[in-house]
Chains A and B, each alone.
Chain A
């Protein structure tokens, strides 16, 4: 599912609520039926997160970064082969595995973040503006990887500006305005232009 909205509409806050980084002032956030506010650690362990700006430890290689974050998540340490497989699955070029992360481009960093998310074997994936700053080729690449992952049964919640991409990869689209979800539609029957019209109408209203 994609969340559309202007800056300040509350997309990041929504993600924060699910991750347990922010407390709701009213209402509840549920992950798998469990309230986040009650069991932040347990609910967070079922989620995976790709932030808008992915930062990696610059002095470690991509492989080592993946290993570190996976271990941090409390997963059983994976062998080198498994890690390489995970990186390959997200499309990171093999020669980049052993390079230090400070040499990575934004697209490559996001791929590593995605690999971390997948390796943590979460049930749901939260993404914050994953496509901002990517050129069209890289964006395409990323969306393809995302689709592959989602086809394995992973629930995906993506906050974005990009209306067309949202139509492209999401099954449902929600429009947020000033913290309220004012529209929730399946994208199946709509075209990109229609979705954009709908979005603008809401924004101007």
Chain B
């Protein structure tokens, strides 16, 4: 029976074209994701190298200073820890691309994973916006995740929409149903074979992409994540195959069924997000970025004016911080004032940043609920998590950045308060940021855990639709109303 199903498939040019298109689209998507991955890798590497260079030249400068060189202006004097912590030695924390970045690139250009530590908190979210062509952002990118979420359903529909309607139109159904109990027995081999074809095309496209553009399979957790990615993609295909079979009892022609399925696809991928997502966003209370755009500047100016007062207050509370010798008085006081300035800025902007972060978390929480309404959204959420471009990757990076921030403060603030000059020997002890990529040991586990809920939603949708399809197919030929004859 499989043999006949295979012959039917090979004779179906539309189905073969659709499968071929899927493979090509996956390869093209992988190529694009590869370029994005390279760009991200280069950027990360550049930042790490720049950081290294800074520290090297810092060592040299400190040695030159110790050997009697001319002292630079106070705010860039490398022997002052305050200057180092706030200007000279600040690294830009960033993350390299995830191991599965070849399968999904997220939205490059919007809110990259980067941060800068300061003396009193991560730099507020007024960091310079990354440059990106807004019309390019509008159009969207073409990566394997796009292919799986948007294109795969159309391919699945093209494979199976005409199985039953064509035979019905040709008049083959009565004879077939007279031999077999129901349409399920007649068409199950066909559906199974085409699902297999879909799986092969998926594997070929994805595997080809991974081979062509490089994939680090030895990374811990990469293979399970890849397996899950493929499984979810295949399950999505099964969902749409089952959806086509659920229309089995419809007495409509193949083209009408195809159009119905395309309408369902539009509903899942465009209509539901268009209707539900904006409601979600409008329902979350968030501080307005527009009306607080000037807040950073106000904080800076005010904090600058108040830094002397703050330092005085600090010294009154901690008189032990006053230095012994009067010669160090000036330099050390200036550093304390710098510390006070940054603390003031952080305090002033903290409520806004907290509000924004809370709103973002709330949005993520509600977005997870929206996934119930559309299997495409659920799939997108799951795949984004697996490729390291989803919320869990950002959370992990934020956590690592905050931990680094704490160590940065713990290193510099005591030195500032003690008033000790910085020497070349201290350079080696400056904290360095070494996160793994968003898929590192602990983080990939997190990604898998974060991908689980939307994955389950997708699987539920698939199982429900498959059950519906099976039920409908069995009814054709077995119950009144199915009426394959006239």
> Which positions in A face B, CB cutoff 8 Å?
12, 16, 19-23, 40-41, 44-45, 47-49, 51, 53-60, 64, 68-74, 113, 116, 120
Contacts and interface: CB of A to CB of B under 8 A. Distances in A.
Contacts of B176: 69, 72
Contacts of A20: 477-478
Contacts of A51: 171, 174-175, 178, 485
Contacts of B11: 59
Contacts of A116: 175, 179
B185 interface: yes
Interface string B182-216: 10011000000000000000000000000000000
A72 B5 CA distance: 12
Contact of A120 (B7, B179, B186, B486): B179
A71 B179 CA distance: 9
Contacts of B478: 20, 40-41
B484 A21 contact: yes
A44 B478 CA distance: 10
Given A12-B485, A51-B485, A72-B185, A57 B172 contact: yes
B478 to A, nearest CB: 5
Interface in B427-486: 477-480, 482-486
A68 B4 contact: yes
A74 B198 CA distance: 27
B178 A47 contact: yes
Contacts of B479: 23, 40
A40 to B, nearest CB: 5
B483 A49 contact: no
Contacts of B186: 72
Rank and list the top 9 A-B pairs by shortest CB-CB distance, nearest first: A23-B480, A49-B178, A55-B171, A41-B181, A73-B179, A55-B172, A51-B174, A72-B179, A72-B180
Given A16-B483, A64-B4, A116-B179, 4 more contacts: A21-B484, A22-B480, A45-B181, A68-B1
B481 to A, nearest CB: 8
Nearest to A55: B171
Contacts of A49: 174-175, 178
A44 B170 contact: no
A128 to B, nearest CB: 8
A51 B478 CA distance: 17
A137 B176 CA distance: 28
6 contacts: A16-B483, A48-B178, A57-B172, A68-B4, A72-B176, A72-B180
A157 to B, nearest CB: 13
Interface of B: 1, 4, 7-8, 11, 170-172, 174-182, 185-186, 477-480, 482-486
Contact of A22 (B171, B172, B483): B483
Contacts of A23: 479-480
B424 to A, nearest CB: 83
Contacts of B485: 12, 16, 21, 51
Q: Which of B11, B175, B477 has the most CB of A within 10 A?
A: B175
B169 to A, nearest CB: 9
Q: Which of A20, A40, A49, A58 has the most CB of B within 10 A?
A: A20
Contacts of A40: 181, 478-479
B1 A71 contact: yes
Nearest to A113: B175
Contacts of B482: 21
Contacts of B180: 72-74
A89 B81 CA distance: 103
Contacts of A71: 1
A22 B170 CA distance: 21
Contacts of A16: 483, 485
A116 B182 CA distance: 17
Nearest to B4: A68
Nearest to B5: A68
A40 B174 CA distance: 15
Contacts of B7: 59-60
Contact of A69 (B175, B477, B480, B486): B175
A137 B164 CA distance: 35
A160 B70 CA distance: 116
A40 B479 CA distance: 8
A57 B176 CA distance: 10
Nearest to B168: A55
A55 B175 CA distance: 8
A45 B477 CA distance: 13
Nearest to A68: B4
B477 A21 contact: yes
Contacts of B484: 21
A54 B179 CA distance: 14
A23 B480 CA distance: 5
Contacts of B171: 51, 53-55
A12 B181 contact: no
A97 B258 CA distance: 36
A90 B326 CA distance: 120
B191 to A, nearest CB: 15
Contacts of B174: 49, 51
Contacts of A70: 179
Contacts of B178: 19, 44, 47-49, 51
B178 to A, nearest CB: 4
Contacts of A22: 480, 483
Nearest to A117: B178
Contacts of B185: 72, 74
Contacts of B172: 55-57
A73 B174 CA distance: 13
Nearest to B175: A51
A162 B476 CA distance: 32
Q: Which of B171, B181, B182, B484 has the most CB of A within 10 A?
A: B181
A155 B177 CA distance: 20
A44 B483 CA distance: 15
A47 B4 CA distance: 24
